[in-house]
């Protein structure tokens, strides 16, 4: 079956660094997405990885290891506005997105 | 670019009535649109995938006669929740993608409350 696993909730301190992990098992693989979702709002795109390695985009970086079925989202210099849910999603062989349950990130002052 | 709108943003309806939600791609042609449902503290659940001019493909467990999807043009898809019940209360989100593009662009969502 297809499965995406990520932690349910994480807490971090303003100004610090946090890494949100995601492991996946899908039928086929056409890339992995990270989305940010604030409560009551639609998801917004953060990153897309299809090749192994680290993609850096400002304070956010995303890493992928296809052989391990593993990705992480790294958030640096955390700000209070980064409090949100972070969704990991894989695109399978049919180009459909398989979604993880999301990780709720709580930032404390 | 790549803006998707949804209307209405919030709707309250009585049990047994029908509600229509519109999803529009404002500045691009969306060959494929997706409809998701999200219950509180849960992830997105794909309900159906629709391609312009053809019938929608529904996910297992989603009643096609209850959730009517029409993708009549390259910029508009509608979801009609027929004979709504309180358990249909949820956050409904659409997304759209362009042909030969991998990214889905999400609408702002519609909060449906059935009383």
Nearest-CA residue of chain A relative to B100?
A: A95
The answer to whether the beta carbons of residues A3 and A100 sit under 8 Å apart is: no
What's chain B look like in SS3?
CCCEEEECCEEEECCCCCEEEEEEECCCCCCEEEEEEECCCCCCEEEEEEECCCCCEECCCCCCCCEEEEEEECCEEEEEECCCCHHHCEEEEEEEECCCCCCCEECCCEEEEEC
Q: Measured between CB atoms, does B99 come within 8 Å of chain A? A: no
A15-19, A96-100, B19-23: least confidently modelled range = A96-100
pLDDT value at B72 more than 90: no
CB contact under 8 A, B104 and A31: no
pLDDT at B111: 95
The mean per-residue pLDDT over the stretch A25-41 comes to 91
Give the pLDDT confidence of B32-57 residue by residue, as tens digits.
999 999 988 788 899 999 988 888 99
Give the pLDDT confidence of A77-102 residue by residue, as tens digits.
999 999 999 999 999 887 788 899 99
Q: Cβ neighbours of residue A60 under 8 Å, at least 6 residues apart?
A: A34, A46, A47, A73, A74, A75, A76
Q: Map residue A42 onto helix, strand or coil.
A: coil
CB contact under 8 A, B44 and A87: yes
- The candidate with the shortest Cα–Cα distance to B113, out of B88, B92, B94, B96, is B88
Q: Cβ neighbours of residue A45 under 8 Å, at least 6 residues apart?
A: A33, A35, B103, B105
Give the pLDDT confidence of B75-88 residue by residue, as tens digits.
999 999 999 999 99
Q: Measured between CB atoms, does B69 come within 8 Å of chain A? A: no
């Amino acid at each position: 079956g297809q499965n995406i696993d990520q932690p349910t909730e994480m807490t971090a301190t303003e100004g610090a660094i946090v890494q949100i992990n995601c492991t996946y098992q899908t039928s086929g693989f056409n890339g992995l997405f990270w989305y940010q979702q604030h409560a009551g709002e639609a998801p917004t795109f953060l990153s897309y990885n299809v090749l192994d390695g680290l993609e850096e985009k400002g304070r956010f970086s995303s890493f992928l290891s296809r052989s391990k079925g593993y990705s992480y989202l790294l958030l640096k210099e955390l700000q209070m506005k980064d409090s949100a849910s972070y969704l990991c999603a894989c695109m399978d062989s049919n180009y459909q997105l398989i979604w993880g349950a999301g990780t709720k990130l709580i930032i404390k002052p | 670019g790549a803006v998707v709108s949804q209307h209405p943003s919030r709707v309250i309806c009585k049990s047994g009535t029908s509600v229509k939600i519109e999803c529009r791609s404002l500045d691009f042609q969306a060959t494929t649109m997706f409809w998701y449902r999200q219950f509180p503290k849960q992830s997105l659940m794909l309900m159906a995938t629709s391609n312009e001019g053809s019938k929608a493909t529904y996910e297992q467990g989603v009643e096609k006669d209850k959730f009517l999807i029409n993708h009549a043009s390259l910029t508009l898809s509608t979801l009609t929740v027929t004979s709504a019940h309180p358990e249909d209360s949820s956050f409904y989100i659409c997304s759209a993608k362009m042909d030969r593009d991998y990214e889905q662009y999400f609408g702002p969502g519609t909060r449906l409350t059935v009383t």
